[in-house]
Amino acid sequence: MAIASISPATGKTIQRFRPHSGTDIEQALEYGARAFEEHRRSSFADRSAKMRRAADLLEADRERFARIISTEMGKIFRASVEEIEKCARGCRFYAEHAEEFLREQVVTTDARHSSIRYQPLGIVLAIMPWNFPFWQVFRFAAPAIMAGNVALLKHASNVPQCALAIEQIFREAGFERGVFQTLLIENERVENLINDSRIKAVTLTGSDRAGSAVANSAGRELKKCVLELGGSDPFIVMPSANLGQAVSIGIKARTVNTGQSCIAAKRFLIADAIYSEFISRFVDGMKNLKMGDPFDPATEVGPLAAENILRGVDAQVQQSVAAGAKVLTGGKRADRIGYFYEPTVLTDIPQNAPAYREEVFGPVALMFRVRDSAEAVALANDSVFGLGSSVWTNNSAEQEFFERELESGMVFVNAMVASDPRLPFGGVKRSGFGRELGAEGIREFTNIKTVYVGA
């Protein structure tokens, strides 16, 4: 597998990278193991100062880092800038709250003293995706490093410049060599890394297939893993909703990052009473989106990240249409250079169509008509995934019903699903297990140690 930067906007190769050798990998593991012994004993104040410095570096050079993102994976430039700014916020959040989240918890028992302590594990291997190439890394690395762990990154093969830039940020922030390292390696070499005794835990963000493979390897080695996998998030709209807001946010939620987001709205479950009007407005909005160069300020939809992703999305659409789905707009590759796919809306999707069961990782909205909230929940839960859910209703009883009954790790009411450093992030079913972010996220890679002192 080639490790290279290829422009999604033109299809041209920008730069190729030599994969790290077995010797490089061994050296990284040695550096990480040595760094952990020192880093784990550092004070929260010391880690916090360095993490704040990382935030400063991100903000000071946000446009350069954003340009790397947009060049390598095609994200709209202003969205890339926002991603860098979010990384800085994440760093500052854990710099401020890590000590509080990991403070010893005293528990009243029959003992003279009993408590819970949170202690770091060691080297955590992170296998990260290309779609949010900085944020996915920082939302793992900031809490893991603040907890006293050290990080080893295996990034996606199409964003090597992002991976190397992140390592440099942590080094410039003052973290010792080995606290955060990037390995440019092929997927086939990951299993051997997981098997290495110096790797103490694994985290992966990616497809459910990749998650299953990593969980299998980690399970054989009895190592903790956190998996944030795919999603086919429902976007439910009931008659009491603000229809105009639901339409505009719905379009944004489906086309964010050109639809290449695990928490993008994918299945739109619309109440029968408002279905026709919602569809009409939604289709008009999708038709009017401006597709183009990620660096053009007017662009609203950029290219997909790679040729194989474009082919995969198109195959899902064409096979769904062959099964009986109807195309209301789009439905094909855009007639232009680069990996562009037309913003698409499908309806009348049969259960045997790929679009009904699979995650569609592109700007393709799937429309379903439902009679009421009960049918909406039944259809929303009829999925192997359970990451996020967005619900639009101003009926308080409906809100409580959806919050309680939806099978997902996150339920957002009258808002699109998004990650926030203050809140735990993750899913159920084939969307994975474990949590990132919040207090739960920093505790995932700690030894939750019980201390009991008898009378």
Catalytic (active site) residue 262: yes
Per domain, the residue ranges of the chain are: 4-229+431-453, 233-420
Backbone φ and ψ for 390, nearest 5 degrees, come out as -115, 125
What average pLDDT score do residues 395-407 get? 98
Choosing among 2.40.50.100, 3.40.309.10, 3.40.50.10540, 2.30.30.90, the CATH entry for 233-420 is 3.40.309.10
Q: Is the pTM of this model over 0.85?
A: yes
CA atoms 414, 417, 418, 419: torsion sign: positive
pLDDT tens digits for range 80-136: 999 999 999 999 999 999 999 999 999 999 999 999 999 999 999 999 999 999 999
Task: Answer whether 4-229+431-453 and 233-420 agree in fold.
Answer: no
Q: What is the pLDDT of residues 313-354, one digit of tens each?
A: 999 999 999 999 999 999 999 999 999 999 999 999 999 999
Q: Which residues have a Cβ under 8 Å from the Cβ of 397 and sit 6 or more positions away?
A: none
The pair phi, psi for residue 56, each rounded to 5°, is: -60, -45
- SS3 for 237? strand
pLDDT tens digits, one per residue of 19-46: 999 999 999 999 999 999 999 999 999 9
- What integer pLDDT is reported at residue 282 of this predicted model? 98
Phi, psi of 343 (to 5 degrees): -55, 125
- The DSSP result for 154-198, as a single string, is E--TT-HHHHHHHHHHHHHTTPPTTSEEEE---GGGHHHHHHSTT
Provide the pLDDT for residue 455: 76
Using alpha carbons, select from 393, 427, 389 the residue that is nearest to residue 406.
389
Q: Which residue has the tokens 């990951």?
A: 190
| N- to C-terminal Cα separation, the chain | 61
Of the residues 91, 225, 262, 398, only one is catalytic, namely 262
- Which among 83, 228, 358, 444 is annotated as catalytic? 228
What average pLDDT score do residues 189-200 get? 97
Residue 1 confidence (pLDDT): 56
- Angle (deg, nearest 10), helices 373-381 and 396-405: 20
DSSP 114-125: EEEEEEE-SEEE
Evaluate if residue 379 carries a pLDDT over 70: yes
* Residue ranges of E strands in 187-232: 199-205, 224-228
**In CATH, which of 1.10.150.170, 3.30.70.2740, 3.40.605.10, 3.90.1150.10 is domain 4-229+431-453?**
3.40.605.10
Question: Would you say how long the chain is, in residues?
Answer: 455
Residues 171, 177 contacting (CB under 8 angstroms): yes
The pLDDT of residue 2? 80
